[in-house]
Amino acid sequence: MGYPHPSHPKETVVLSQYFGDEGARSFDGWVQRGGYQALKQALAMAPEAITEVVKASGLRGRGGAGFPTGLKWSFMPKPSGKPHYLCCNADESEPGTFKDREIMRWTPHALIEGCAISAFAIGAERGYIYIRGEFTEPIRIMQAALDEAYAKGALGGDVFGSGKRIDLYIHRGAGAYICGEETALMNSIEGKRGNPRIKPPFPAAAGLFGMPTTINNVETLAAVPHILTRGAAWYKGLCLSSPKSTGTKLFSVCGQVLKPGNYEVTMGFPMKDLIYDLAGGMRPGRSLKAVIPGGSSVAIMTAAEAESALCDYEGIAEKGSSLGSAGFIVIDDSADLVYEIYRLARFYAHESCAQCTNCREGTAWTVKILERILRGEGKPADLDLLMDLAENMTGKTICPLSDSCAVPVVSGIKKFRADFDRYLAGAKSPALAGV
Amino acid sequence: MADELVNLTIEGVPVSVPKGTTIIEAAKQAGILIPHYCYHPSLSSPAVCRMCLVDVEKQPKVLPSCVTTVAEGQVVHVHSEKAKQAREGVLEFLLINHPLDCPICDQAGECELQDFVFQEGRSGTRYADYPKRFNPVEDFGSDILYVANRCILCTRCVRFMEEVALEPVIEVCERGDRAYIGITEDQKLEHAWAGNVVDLCPVGSLISKDFLHKARAWDLDKTASVCPGCSQGCNVMIDTRDDVVVRLRPRANLDVNRHFICDTGRSDYRWMNRGDRVEAPLVRQDGRLRAADWDAALETLSGLVKGASDVVVLASGRASTEALGWLARLVDGKRVTAAVRVPVGEEAPLPGVPNLALRTQRAPNGDGARLAGYVAAWDAAVAGAKDAALTIVLDADLSDAEATKVNLGRAVVLLATVEDDRLDRAALVLPVSTMAEENGTFINRDQRVQRFLQARGAPGMAQPAWWVAAGAWEQLGPGRHAPATAAEAFARLGETIPALGGMTYAEVGLTGRVLDGAAVGGAR
Amino acid sequence: MSGHATAHGGETHEPVFTGKVRAQLEALFPRYPTRQACLLPALWIVQEQRGWISPQAMAEVAQELGVTPAYVKGVVTFYTMYHQHPVGRHFIQVCTTSPCHLCGSADVVGALLRHTGCGELGATSADGRFTVVEVECLGACGFATPILVDDDFIDAVTPERVPGILERYR
């Protein structure tokens, strides 16, 4: 549902059915709403069979990378005595994205159940739910739900009498966007600086504490119980366009729309309807200027591109951008797009872990150039420089943070040149007065 | 791991290396240096500097050659446009916060940032007018200063302390372009091997206080040598300027010390520059020491040896094998008590490298001396000096008590580097060169024979001790010819020391050679 | 390992991990296969107890977990939520990243600075009550502008709501 707004008829409500329903938070409340059936079902299956169901459903990672989930699970090795780990990525820090927070706040048991099923499927007896440090409310709610789950036998040494052990712990982050990167997340759990690791080795081979590990996003894991109870075919059938993009996706619509919120739509849903129908469209007297559809680390789309795009991995890629985490930032004609791009660059510069030269220095330099442009002191050569730096920041680092900084800059300059030209002609940004 | 070989091409050169070799290592075989900073053969590879990115055909992105392993049929380009552009980009990024300190930076002339920027960086920066990040200089303890502004965050220092010294007292702090290497007040960089971070640092960020502003790298002459500090025998470079030793640095030897030397050895070079040297042969005549030429001095020496039935030889553990061997040969046939002085100290291992430590035996050639027959107990030998017909002291450090005893000897000959007023009854004082002033060898605790080369000139008329001994030996028998060179002196050691039979300088080379049948790492 | 008071530059550090707090730390140990993995949670405990993480506290944590103080410093300085200096009694974090900026976070910042008396970001108010800092995306973009006051996550803050919110913390 477009919480905090009521469900829109065009939504496909699966994960968000109980957003706003406080009764769904408790174990009993969740069971009343059909919860924990999937876990019981899973415990009676062979782990590999669960993976096959998830594969057949077409579920892809909802954290941003869109990697087929069943395939990722199948990378885990056969049991060999080494402990396997599940990590739930609840670090949600991608600007524009706020869906995992809602899943945890309203349906914590959905996540617990999804984690438990996944842990069982991949042969893990222990999982860590890495929640960003700022999510104090989700942490409180999740911890209370975990305590209840243990008390009711849904977790612990003998889950629902199956003889299987599943332990889940919350690991609280402490303020680092980069810890949303799967290998940095593992380092953070291990008590280290949140530096991404070189791959290979991949987590399934050597992940958390060097052991076989699977990391999945909150939204991905929350979908798993539904896939089990309602079937892979059902999930796969939720598809309006490309058969490679199935199921529903929570779009975190924010920015300059009348009704920001999380809207759950079937993959392939028309983006135009998402903006104007579900999210209520522009404020009075305003027109759509740009959309950043995938969280901020993807190319900016023009209004024309957005209005003709379909909301799935392939549809948005066709328009030159990415679905990413579906952190959907709407920008209208009143916005100072150059400032917003600068502010995003500042975000990346702040969050760079400092390992790779290109990222550490390039993000900060990008900020300085954009700041100068915003002060009306920029030159046309500065745009060429920004494009050149963006190239030196793309495809050259351990993780894609520097690429993420480059992408909005490049797409901004290419598609919204007029905005930059205004500044090159001498305009000064009033927003910088408070910087 | 299988010894399976993988064939690939690097810059057009075909290379065959074991499976699992990284491209950067494979490139070395092809004679190609791939520019890099954070990579180091004695440390883990974090692939953070991004300098070693290479262009591999059929791969969409450039790849870090320090962690990418070779694959059959790979075609690697190090100098394609794509790879060069990647490196040019990294260099430009490194220079935006790096201060233009070259005129005051000790690293200039031996700086890897200078080198690669000169080779393939941009000729000017596009980082116009923006301020550079500033962090203050920090004293990391012992000999090490951290000039934070120059740091390129390659993390070699952090990894050395963590993985090799096993004392992780420095760590990257902060994030992004605010990052620097941090240390805490209560745990400074005082590890016995910490000084290696200065060598590891590719730029002038970690620098030696001892070497601060002392000499310019391009003014230095560099000579391969062996550390005379203990029986480990770490390979070193002796750096001199105008014949003055200004610095010792490690020289790579994968079998002995890899890329490291300890701080004790590193700092112990000042004695090589001592001015209080014996500069001319001195012969005692009418109660006074008078300068003489070598002919006269050697004649006197051979006469003293000829007339003595028993001889005490007290040798320094720092004497070369050549000196020890030829001195033993000089007194061959007499009743000889020969001892070598090896001072003792605390062991300080470098835990991350097998069989590497500052050893308790604080002399480089105790093993060479024992091999040459210097097996008497030191104290007993010193005590025996007063009764022996002849006592020869080869540059040994004597305590006051020992000097008093030796001075009681009937005839005392000093082969000396420095003057010693305490031995005021010496019949003969012959000036010899230190190990820094001659070619020679030491034998380390693992029975490895290692060459050291002459790094500076010997003062005055000083000669290598082997030359002095052999010169006198020559006069004591018919048909004898003293060796003319150190190489010959070494090669002929086998005539009296069977273990060294047949060995030559060429064979020993600059990485050394273990004696046959030697037990490596024997406890001493 | 028993607690101990360490002197540092003349100040004595009262150990954090004693009694109930020690029990809290020890409850973490079985959750992870290494002591080092307890570092982030241990630092949270320190900050909960003392309001910030001093160099002496870092040394104490280091000793408890078998790592060096420098290592702990590297971790503390990496993660922005750990305070390396004392802050006001109430610590306010405001999101100003682009999605919130589009929705007027700059005005919220202004209102907070005025009504707390802090005057500028990062400063503590004269009465020691508040410190206001800007932070990156808080993950509540659809509920702009979110702020954190200590552990209270407050959605949809507007300049008009600021005085009322601050009242709860007077």
Quick: pLDDT tens for A258-315.
999 999 999 999 999 999 999 999 999 999 999 999 999 999 999 999 999 999 999 9
- Suggest the residue from A3, A93, A131, A134 to mutate for an interface test with chain C (most C CBs closer than 10 A): A134
CB contact under 8 Å between C73 and B167, yes or no, is: no
Name the nearest CA neighbour of B67 among B35, B21, B107, B120: B21
CB contact under 8 Å between A395 and B49, yes or no, is: no
Query: Cα distance from C168 to chain B (closest Cα, Å)?
Result: 34
- Could you tell me which CATH number the domain at A34-232 has? 3.40.50.11540
- Tell whether the model's pLDDT for residue B43 goes beyond 90: yes
- Residues sharing a CB contact under 8 Å with residue A201, sequence separation 6 or more, in sequence order: none
Query: Cα distance from C61 to chain B (closest Cα, Å)?
Result: 14
Q: How many CB pairs under 8 A join A and C?
A: 153
> Which residues in chain A (328-357) have CB-CB distances under 8 A to chain B?
349-357
State the pairing for strand pair A248-255/A327-332.
parallel
Question: Does any CB of chain B come closer than 8 Å to the CB of residue C49?
Answer: no
Instruction: Say how far apart CA B400 and CA B419 lie, in whole Å.
Output: 14
Q: Which tokens go with A230? A: 């309602």
CB contact under 8 Å between B90 and A193, yes or no, is: no
What pLDDT is stored for residue B521 in this prediction? 39
Average pLDDT for C15-24: 97
Average pLDDT for B224-246: 98
Which residues of chain A make contact with C102, given a CB cutoff of 8 A? 255-256, 329, 331, 335, 340
Q: Which CATH class is domain C90-167?
A: alpha beta
Is 1.10.10.1590 the CATH number for C6-78? yes
* Segments making up each domain of chain C, as ranges: 6-78, 90-167
**What percentage of chain A has pLDDT greater than the value 70?**
99
Q: Please, what sign has the CA dihedral across residues A396, A400, A405, A410?
A: positive
Instruction: Say which DSSP state B344 is in.
Output: B
- Suggest the residue from C97, C98, C113 to mutate for an interface test with chain A (most A CBs closer than 10 A): C98
Which residues of chain A make contact with B81, given a CB cutoff of 8 A? none
From the options 3.20.20.105, 1.20.140.10, 3.90.950.10, 1.20.1440.230, give the CATH code of A337-434.
Answer: 1.20.1440.230
Q: What mean pLDDT, rounded, does chain C reach?
A: 93
CB contact under 8 Å between A363 and B177, yes or no, is: yes
- Tell whether the model's pLDDT for residue A434 goes beyond 60: no
pLDDT digits (tens, 9 = 90+) for B354-365: 999 999 999 999
pLDDT band at B2 (very low <50, low <70, confident <90, very high): low
From the options 3.40.190.10, 3.10.20.600, 3.40.50.1110, 3.90.79.10, give the CATH code of A248-332.
Answer: 3.10.20.600
Q: Cα A402 from chain centroid?
A: 18
CB contact under 8 Å between C70 and B171, yes or no, is: yes
Cα-based distances in Å from C163 to A177, A199, C95: 30, 50, 18
Q: Which residue among A97, A175, A189 sits closest to C81, beta carbon to beta carbon?
A: A175
Q: Cα A84 from chain centroid?
A: 24
Q: How many CB pairs under 8 A join A and B?
A: 85
* Segments making up each domain of chain A, as ranges: 34-232, 248-332, 337-434
pLDDT digits (tens, 9 = 90+) for B423-475: 999 999 999 999 999 999 999 999 999 999 999 999 999 999 999 999 999 99
pTM of the model: 0.95
Q: Which residue among A193, A339, A351 sits closest to C136, beta carbon to beta carbon?
A: A351
Domains, chain B, with CATH or none: 5-79 (3.10.20.740), 128-273 (3.30.70.20), 282-514 (3.40.50.740)
Average pLDDT for A105-133: 98
What pLDDT is stored for residue B252 in this prediction? 98
B422, amino acid identity? R
Q: Which tokens go with B491? A: 């090669």
- Tell whether the model's pLDDT for residue A115 goes beyond 60: yes
Instruction: Say how far apart CA B331 and CA B82 lie, in whole Å.
Output: 70
Q: Which tokens go with A341? A: 């791009």
B425, amino acid identity? R
| Contact by Cβ (8 Å): B224, B235 | yes
Q: Cα A28 from chain centroid?
A: 29
Which residues of chain A make contact with B98, given a CB cutoff of 8 A? none
- Suggest the residue from B85, B177, B203 to mutate for an interface test with chain A (most A CBs closer than 10 A): B177
Q: Using the structure block, give the residue that is written with the tokens 């990894």.
A: B159
Q: Which tokens go with C46? A: 């320190």
